[in-house]
Amino acid sequence: MKQIVCCIALCLALLAGRVKSQPLYFRHYQVENGLSHNTVFCTIQDRQGFMWFGTKDGLNRFDGYNFKVYRNKAGDKKSLGSNLINSLLIDSKGKMWVCTVNGVYSYNKLEESFDLLAFTAGKEAGLIKEDSRGDLWMTLNHILFKFDRKSGEHTAYSGNKTEAKAIMVDYNGDVWVSYHGGLQRYDFKKDSFTFYDLFSKSANRRSKAIAAMHSMDNGIMLVGSDQGLKIFDPRSGTYRDVIRYSADKTDLYIRDIIKSTKEEYWLATESGIYIYNARTGEFNVLRKDHTNPYAVSDDAIYDLFKDKEGSVWATTYFGGINYCDPQNAFFEKFFPNTPGGSLKGSAVREIIQGRTVNELFIGTEDAGLNKFDLSTRRFTHFNSGPGPEEISSTNIHGLLLDGSNLWIGTFNQGIYVKDLNTNRLVKHYIAKPSPGQLTQNYIEVIYKTRSGRILIGTPGGLWQYNGVTDGFDRVSEVAADVFVNAVIEDHEGTIWIASGTGLHYFNPQTKTKGRYQHSDRDTASISSNNIIGIFEDSRRQLWIMTETGLNKYVPGRKAFVKYTVNNGFPSDFMFKMLEDDQGLLWVTSTKGLVRFNSLTGEATIYTTANGLLSDQFNYNSAFKDAAGRLYFGCIKGYISFDPKLIRSVRKPPQVYIIGFQIDNREVALNEEGSPLKQSIITTEKIRLAADQRSISVDFAALSYVAPQTTRYAYKLEGLEKEWTYLKTNRKIYFTKLAPGSYKLRVKSANSAGDWNPVEATLSITVSPPFYASIWAYLFYAAVCSAAVYYGFKNYHFQTQLRSKRRMEHLENEMAREVYQSKIEFFTNITHEIRTPLTLIKAPLEKAISSDSLEEIRKNFELMQKNTDRLLNLTDQLLDFRKIEKEGLKLNFVKANLSVEVREIYTLFRPYAEGRIDNYILILPPTPVYAFIDPEAFHKIMSNLINNAVKYAVNFVQIELRDLSAGDTSFTIEIKNDGALIPAGAYENIFKPFFRVEQTDHKGTGLGLPLAKSLAEIHNGELTIVPDSRFNVFALSLPVHQRIEFDLMEGDQQVTLVAEKELAAQDEGLPVILLVEDHI
C-alpha cells in the first residue's frame, strides 16, 4: 500500500512540476583555496561587498581571491565564542551578527573583533533575523527569542513544545516562524502567534519539518520542508504541494529558498539545487557530477545567497562553496567527460554544419570525428582504426560537406569521403607518384568555392579536385612549396591563401595574382609572413590573423593596419575570426576570446574567468550557424553561445586595501609595536616606525564574476609620479622607504578598461630613526648651539687671553724698546749736545785767553754755528712733540719748487762735498710751482738730504720730476748708495727712535718720522721705493691744497685760493681774507 501511495505522489509531483535541464556552471572554493572547512552553513554579503561564510571551523571573509578566517582564541574575549557558525545577518545599520553554538556576537569592523550579546552567552544560537522595527529574532537552544535593541530587553516564546526551524520577515513586515507541522505568524499588537497547518492535505508523515520560507512579490509564500516544496497563500490560509520527491524517489528535503530572477527561484535541497520557474512550473535540477568539473560540488546544499552582482552562492556540507554567475552561462561548454554520449577528444580543429540545422560535425586532433545532435544533445563518435569502414587517423585537419558526401582531411592519411546516406566510407585519397594525384598525405584545409570548386590545402601547395578524373590538379597560381594554412574566396571571386610565406591571392576570372609579405622597412606591410587565418566581414573588409597580430587589409593603398596587445588585445597570436549578426567581430587567440568592434576599436576580452573552457583556442576552429550562434574550438573542447545574450561588461568594481605587511609579516591590530589601530580596510592614515620601512600592501576589487580580469593601478605619491598598471598581481612592495610622508592610491578597472573613479587611499608616514627625528634634531641643535656658544665663548676668552698676553708681551717689548730707545736717544742726544757744547767751550776758552780780535771772531763764529746746531736739534724735538701731541698747522703758499730744492741742495753742498764725491741735483727744464708750507718743506728735504749724505758711500742724487698736464702732485726722489735698508725695515723705519742695526752712524731716530709726519700733513706721502742698487726715498706732495695762498714776489696783493668744491658750495657767502704777517 505504501508503495502505491509513493507512486501516486510521485506522479502528482511530476505532473505539477516537470523537470527540465539546462547548463549552468559553477566555480568551486574549498579548503585547497583557503576556505577553513568544506562544511559551510551560511552566507552573507556586507555593505562593502565582502562575502562572509560560516563553517564548522570558523568564520571566513572572502574578497574574490583570498579567505581570511576568524576563529575562537582561548582567553581572548574579543574573539568568537565558538568556531561552529550557524547563521549570519547584516542588519539595517550594516552591522553583522554571528550565531554560534556558544552565543550571538556582533562584529566590530573597525577593530575586526566580536562582542558577545550578553543574554545569549552559553546558548546555541541557530537562526537570526531582523524585523521591520529593527528588533532581532533568534533561536537560542531552539527556543524563539525577540531582542528589543532600543530597550535592551529580550523575550522568550517557548509556548510551543517543538523547536523553531526557520524565521522569515515578509514584504509586509510580518514575522513568520516555522515549527513542526506548520507556520506561525506573529501579531505585533497582541504579541501572539497564529498557526497555519501545512500538512493537513499531505500524506501523513511523522516528520513535518519546515526549514525554509520565501515570500514572493505577490504575497504568496514558497515553503520548503522535508516533504518538498509547498506554495502557501497567507490570505486564504491554503497551500498546495508543488514537488515532493527527488528524481531518485526520495523525499525532497529543502533547506533554503532564494529568488534568482523575476520568475526563477533556487531551492537548496539534500538532492542538489532545484531551480523552479514560477511561471511555467518547470524545474531544472543541478546535481553533483564526478565527470563534470563545472557541476555543483555536493548534493547536500545548505544555504543559497544572491549577491549584489546577481550571482548565486551555494554552500554545501562536503563540497565547500559553489559560485554561479548566470550571466556567464551563455558560454555553453562541450568537453570529453563520460564514456557515453559526450564529445570524444579535446583538441577541436574543425566544426561544420551537417545536413540539418540540428547536426554538427566536429573534427578533433586527438580522437577523430564526432557528430553532435542539437535536439538530443548527444554525440556520435566515428571510430578510428585500420578497418575498411574506419578512418585510420584520429587527427582531423579538414571537413567539408558536399551534398551527402562528407570530405574528411587527416593529418597524415590523406582524404576520406563518407556517404552520409549510407554512413559508409566511399573514397580514400592518398598520395601517389602518378599524375593527377596528391603528392602529400598531409591535409591542412578543404574549401569549396561558390562555383563548386573543391580546393585542398597542403604543405606542398594548393590542389583542386577534378571530378572528371576523380583526381587532383595542382593550382598553378600557387607555388608547389607554399604551405597552405587556410583558404577563402572574397566577394569578387578572388582566392586568398594563408601560408607560411605570406598572403597569396589569385583571381581565376581576371587572371591576377600576387603575394603580400612582411618588410621591416615598410610599416604598412603585413605584420608577419606566417598567416594563420583569413576572414571577410559583411562590410567586405578583409582581415588576416597572424602570429604577431590582427591585420586589416586596405586595398586602395595595398597596405595593412595592425591591431596588437597595444590596442587592447590579450595576445598577438590570433587564430580565427567570425562576425555576429550585430556586426561585431569575434577573434580567438592564445589568451582568450576577443569581441572586437572594428568601428570604435573597442576590444572586450573573455577568458576562463568568464566561463571559457580554455584561454587558448585552436587553428581553423570556428563556425556560425544559421541562427547566429557561434562555435569556437579550443584545446579542451569547444564552446558555443548566442552573442545577443551576452550582456555588457559590468561597471568597474570598487577597490579596497585589505592587507598590510611589514617585512613580509601581516600586521596585527593593537599589538605592541603595531602601527594598526583599526582594520586596514577602514584605516586612512598609518605611521610607521623607523624600522618598519619595508612594507607590502594587498588590495582587491570586490567583483566575483571574473576577478582574474580585473585590472589595477597604483601610485605612491611622494615616491612616484606616474601610475603603475598591473595585470594580475594584487600585492605591491616598497622596500626601505625614506622617512617622510606618502599617499598610496589604488584604482581598479573592469575587463573593458573602464576605471572606477573611487580610489582606495592610504596616507603613510615613515618616521625617521630617533637620531634623525625632529626631537633629535632639536637636541642636536641645542647641543650644537651650546657647543658653538661655549666654543665661541672659550675661543673669545682664549683669544682675549692670548691678546692680553700678546699685548702684555708687546707692551713689555715696546716698553723695553722704548726704554732702550730712550737710553739710545738720550745717549745720542747727550753726544749730540756734548759735541757742540765742547765745540762752544773750546773757542770760548780761546776767546777768553786770546787777544787777537780775528781769532776771537772766528771762535765766536764757531760758537754760533754749534749754537745753531743745538737750536736745530731742540727745534726738531719740539716739532715732533708738537705733531704727536696736538698736530701742526701749515700755511700753504705758492712756491717755485725748482728754486726751493736748489736752495736746500746748495745749503748741504759743503757738508756733502766733504763726505762724498758725487752730490747731484736734477731739476726739470721749466720751473715747477706748487702750494707748500716752505718751513715744513725745508724740514722734510733737510732731513732727507742730511740722511742721504750721512749714510752714503760716495753718491747722493736729488731729482725733482717734471709735471705733466693733468698731474695733481709732484715727486722728489732722494737716493744714495749707502748700505741698503732691509725690506723688513720699510714699515719700521718711519717709526720714532727706530734705527737700522747695521749702521754705525749715530742719530736720534726722529728725522724720518718727522719728515713723514710733515709729508702727511701736506696731504702727501713719503715712501721707500724698492731698488736693488740704491736707497730711494720718494716724496709726493699735492700741487694744490684745500686752502692755499698765492704770495709770489712782485705781487701787490695777497690772493686766497680756495678749493673748487668749497667755492662752489660757498658761492654767495661772505669771504674772509686771512693774512699772517710773519711768514
| Residue 1020 within a domain | yes
Vertex 220: Cα angle to 218 and 222 (nearest 5):
130
Give the residue among 628, 631, 629, 612 at the shortest CA–CA distance from 620.
631
Model pLDDT, residue 855: 75
Give the residue among 1038, 1027, 901 at the shortest CA–CA distance from 975.
1027
Q: Which three cell numbers stand for residue 243?
A: 514537488
Last residue of a domain, one of 772, 803, 826: 772
Q: Report how far residue 567's alpha carbon sits from residue 549's, in angstroms, rounded to the nearest whole number.
A: 10
Q: Are residues 661 and 719 in the same domain?
A: yes
Q: Are residues 796 and 731 in the same domain?
A: no
Q: Are residues 1001 and 1040 in the same domain?
A: yes
Confidence of residue 951 (pLDDT cuts 50, 70, 90): confident
Contact, 391 vs 425, CB < 8 A?
Answer: yes
Q: How many CA atoms lie within 13 A of 387 on its CB side?
A: 8
Has residue 1059 got a pLDDT over 50? Answer: no
| Residue 719 within a domain | yes
Q: Report how far residue 361's alpha carbon sits from residue 353's, in angstroms, rounded to the nearest whole number.
A: 6
Has residue 1053 got a pLDDT over 60? Answer: no
Cβ atoms within 10 A of the Cβ of 228, count?
25
Cβ atoms within 10 A of the Cβ of 856, count?
17
Give the domain CATH number at 500. 2.130.10.10
Mean pLDDT within 334-342: 76
Has residue 1065 got a pLDDT over 50? Answer: no
Q: Are residues 811 and 699 in the same domain?
A: no
Give the residue among 100, 55, 59 at the shortest CA–CA distance from 82.
100
Has residue 952 got a pLDDT over 60? Answer: yes
pLDDT in tens, 864-884: 766 766 776 676 666 656 655
Structural domain boundaries enclosing 475: 415-645
Contact, 353 vs 339, CB < 8 A?
Answer: no
pLDDT in tens, 522-562: 999 999 999 999 999 999 999 999 999 999 999 989 999 99
Contact, 66 vs 666, CB < 8 A?
Answer: no
Cβ atoms within 10 A of the Cβ of 405, count?
15
**Phi, psi (degrees; rounded to nearest 5) at 59:** -100, 130
Q: Are residues 820 and 964 in the same domain?
A: no
Contact, 1058 vs 1074, CB < 8 A?
Answer: no
Q: Report how far residue 486's alpha carbon sits from residue 409's, in angstroms, rounded to the nearest whole number.
A: 13
Q: Report how far residue 998's alpha carbon sits from residue 648's, in angstroms, rounded to the nearest whole number.
A: 114
Last residue of a domain, one of 626, 645, 664: 645
Phi-psi region of 864 (alpha: psi -120 to 50; beta: other; left: phi over 0): alpha
Model pLDDT, residue 270: 95
**Phi, psi (degrees; rounded to nearest 5) at 415:** -120, 135
| Residue 685 within a domain | yes
Determine whether 241 is exposed, middle or buried from the number of CB atoms within 10 Å of its CB (0-12, 13-18, 19+): buried
Has residue 428 got a pLDDT over 60? Answer: yes
Mean pLDDT within 251-278: 94
Q: Report how far residue 314's alpha carbon sits from residue 301's, in angstroms, rounded to the nearest whole number.
A: 7
Q: Are residues 924 and 1020 in the same domain?
A: yes
Confidence of residue 1066 (pLDDT cuts 50, 70, 90): very low
The structural domain count of the chain equals 4
Q: Are residues 915 and 1060 in the same domain?
A: yes
Mean pLDDT within 295-313: 95
> Mean pLDDT in the chain?
87
Contact, 611 vs 25, CB < 8 A?
Answer: yes
Contact, 859 vs 843, CB < 8 A?
Answer: yes
Q: Report how far residue 105's alpha carbon sits from residue 149's, in angstroms, rounded to the nearest whole number.
A: 14
Confidence of residue 987 (pLDDT cuts 50, 70, 90): confident
Q: What is the 3-state secondary structure (H, E, C) of 187-224?
A: ECCCCEEEEEECCCCCCCCCCCCEEEEEECCCCCEEEE
Give the residue among 477, 1076, 881 at the shortest CA–CA distance from 487.
477
pLDDT in tens, 991-1008: 776 666 655 565 556 678
**Phi, psi (degrees; rounded to nearest 5) at 80:** -65, 150
Model pLDDT, residue 107: 97
| Residue 576 within a domain | yes
Give the domain CATH number at 1010. 3.30.565.10
Q: Report how far residue 1066's alpha carbon sits from residue 1075's, in angstroms, rounded to the nearest whole number.
A: 20
Mean pLDDT within 831-849: 61
Model pLDDT, residue 1050: 45
Q: Which residue has the higher pLDDT, 388 or 6?
A: 388
Q: Report how far residue 574's alpha carbon sits from residue 590's, in angstroms, rounded to the nearest whole number.
A: 7
The residues pairing with 140 across neighbouring beta strands, listed in sequence order, are 125, 143
Determine whether 615 is exposed, middle or buried from the number of CB atoms within 10 Å of its CB (0-12, 13-18, 19+): buried
| Strand spans (E) along 507-650 | 513-516, 531-536, 542-546, 549-554, 559-563, 574-579, 585-589, 592-596, 603-606, 617-624, 630-634, 637-641
Q: Report how far residue 484's alpha carbon sits from residue 504's, in angstroms, rounded to the nearest whole number.
A: 10
Has residue 317 got a pLDDT over 90? Answer: yes
Q: Are residues 730 and 786 in the same domain?
A: no
Mean pLDDT within 821-832: 54
Model pLDDT, residue 457: 96
Model pLDDT, residue 14: 39
| Residue 718 within a domain | yes
Evaluate the CA torsion angle 583, 586, 587, 592 in order and state its sign: positive
Q: Are residues 665 and 638 in the same domain?
A: no
Residues whose CB is less than 8 angstroms from the CB of residue 195 and which lie 6 or more positions away in sequence, other chains included: 179, 182, 183, 184
Give the domain CATH number at 674. 2.60.40.10
| Residue 302 within a domain | no
- Which pairing describes strands 955-960 and 918-922: parallel, antiparallel, or unpaired? parallel
Q: Could you tell me the end-to-end alpha-carbon distance of the chain, in angstroms, rounded to an integer?
A: 171
pLDDT in tens, 12-31: 343 334 444 457 899 999 99
Mean pLDDT within 665-692: 90
DSSP letter (8 states) at residue 510: T
pLDDT in tens, 140-198: 999 999 999 999 999 999 866 568 899 999 988 999 999 888 999 999 999 999 999 99
Confidence of residue 753 (pLDDT cuts 50, 70, 90): confident
| Residue 1074 within a domain | no
Q: Are residues 783 and 752 in the same domain?
A: no
Instruction: Report the amino acid identity of residue 691.
Output: D
Q: How many CA atoms lie within 13 A of 429 on its CB side?
A: 24
Q: Report how far residue 612's alpha carbon sits from residue 568's, in angstroms, rounded to the nearest whole number.
A: 19
Give the residue among 65, 70, 5 at the shortest CA–CA distance from 29.
65
With a pLDDT cut of 90, the percent of the chain lying above it is: 63
Q: Are residues 466 and 615 in the same domain?
A: yes
**In this predicted structure, which of 314-323, 334-343, 865-874 has the lowest mean pLDDT?**
865-874
| Residue 486 within a domain | yes
Give the DSSP H or E segment for 665.
strand 665-666
pLDDT in tens, 378-403: 999 988 777 777 888 899 999 999 99
The residues pairing with 822 across neighbouring beta strands, listed in sequence order, are none
Mean pLDDT within 753-759: 90
Has residue 817 got a pLDDT over 70? Answer: no
pLDDT in tens, 466-507: 999 999 999 999 999 999 999 999 999 999 999 999 999 999
Has residue 954 got a pLDDT over 50? Answer: yes
Q: Are residues 581 and 685 in the same domain?
A: no
DSSP letter (8 states) at residue 682: T
Q: Report how far residue 766's alpha carbon sits from residue 777's, in angstroms, rounded to the nearest whole number.
A: 16
Has residue 890 got a pLDDT over 90? Answer: no
Q: Report how far residue 858's alpha carbon sits from residue 842's, in angstroms, rounded to the nearest whole number.
A: 12
b/e string for 42-63 if b means 16 or more Cβ within 10 A? Answer: bbbbbeebbbbbbbebbbbbbb
Last residue of a domain, one of 710, 738, 772: 772
